[in-house]
Structure 1
Amino acid sequence: MTRINLLPPERVKERRGVPSQRNYLWLSIVLPLVVLLIMGFWWFSLGSQINNKNEALQKADQDLKDVQAQVQSLQKYATRAQEIATTQDTVLAALGGRVYWARILNNIAIFCPTNIWLVALNGTSAAGTSGSVTFDGYALQCPNRDLAGFFPGELDYHPDYRPIAGWLERMAQIEQFSRVWLASAEPSFMINDENIEEPEPFPPTTFTAGGQWVMHFNSSAQLNMASAAIGTKATAAPASPTPQPSEGEGEAE
């Protein structure tokens, strides 16, 4: 079949030489819209991030102000602590090396067994270089040590030295003591001073009855100046005691 073109030759040449613009017209319309949409989304996202950062910054600033207010309120305690530290240094400079008797007496009261009571306690120290404590006291005895029906002085009593050993062991646990000695320990009968009147035989007589056996002891302790002096600390705990009573005399370290 023969194709017949009714256009003039000039028109045909013109159409062949100049490309058509209608194929790209939709791009010139759609592309700017797409770019605007992308820029709008990016702007919205960036604005949201900026708002979040601003809120976080405001919160951090508020937290900082709160912390600064708390620090300011605690500043008086820091000043007071500094004053106490200065006073403590002054006291330690004036009393350094002296024996801290209050702490020692407190530890003796804490470690003293319940079956021991003291009637005398003496402490001495020499210019903060050495010191000792002496004890005079009594130890309770188990009731079954005293056989009923006998009088004091007869062979009815069996001394129990275990409370004395317990006393030495407890005192050796005090870090302010380096050594603990037992000077003496002997049975003693304590009368309750109960007066009883016996009507027979005539005339009536009054005598004292009642009492209990106890252990009277004397001991001493050598101070550990590494922990007994003011402003010093103990470097090691004392060793457990090993009481060695021998005819009323012994030592515990």
Structure 2
Amino acid sequence: MLYLVGLGLNDEHDISLRGLEIVRRCEEVYLEAYTSVLTVPVARLEALYGRPVTVAERDFVESAIEPVLERARTAEIALLVVGDPFGATTHCDVLARAKALGVQTRVVHNASIMNAIGCCGVQLYRFGEAVSVPFFTDSWKPASFFDKLEANASLGLHSLLLVDIKTREPTLPSLARGRPVYLPPRFMTVRQAVGQVLEIAATRPGSGVGATSRAIGVARVGTESQVCVHGTLGELRSVDFGPPLHSLVLLGAITEAEGSGSSESDEEDQH
């Protein structure tokens, strides 16, 4: 059996009781470590779970996981996923490959940014398609995500912008030599995301998105240091949200219920 176990948003304590019971009896435990990250080292997971945890980087999950799937025919193996297992298409692909091999699978769900973003005070059912914002480079500035922002805005819907993280990025020269050397991890900030959105918006004057558009920046959702700040994109660009992980919500039409806000959102808005 292959288990995909959601870990939630913060640390080792966010795993569900069902997930913990499964992990403690598994013969092998892997942690998918590139679509998102926890705020604690792997050693803390191992201490609570009572099992060694092998970190599974991107190349392993995408192209070298088949031997693990083969072993899951006769052994209980867990793949731990930050957030919820269905929060990234990577995990859907793992499930599809397992089923193609005839391996039994089971998913244990947990909280993810896709539902926890309700902490910022707007209603989940009023979000349109979520978008991913990649790091721009001097020669590569993809704008396809902006098309979705415009589509959501045209319907009065909010947009959740999931900002880029780079946890194991090789340098180009090292790839050319065939011996990868990895850059330090990088985590996009709200400031950077806003800057890139406004850079594209400047080339699309009819989009309705600009420095005066209302938005909410969030950081470290699900932790004790969680921050939510409401303002215009121009205002959010000057806010220091602190350590990762960050996300951004571009607001659509605000309903009466959303406009009244919650006590939590009001309190966080002052930070």
TM-score by length of 1: 0.24
- Which one has the largest radius of gyration? 1
| Structure whose residues are more often strand by fraction | 1
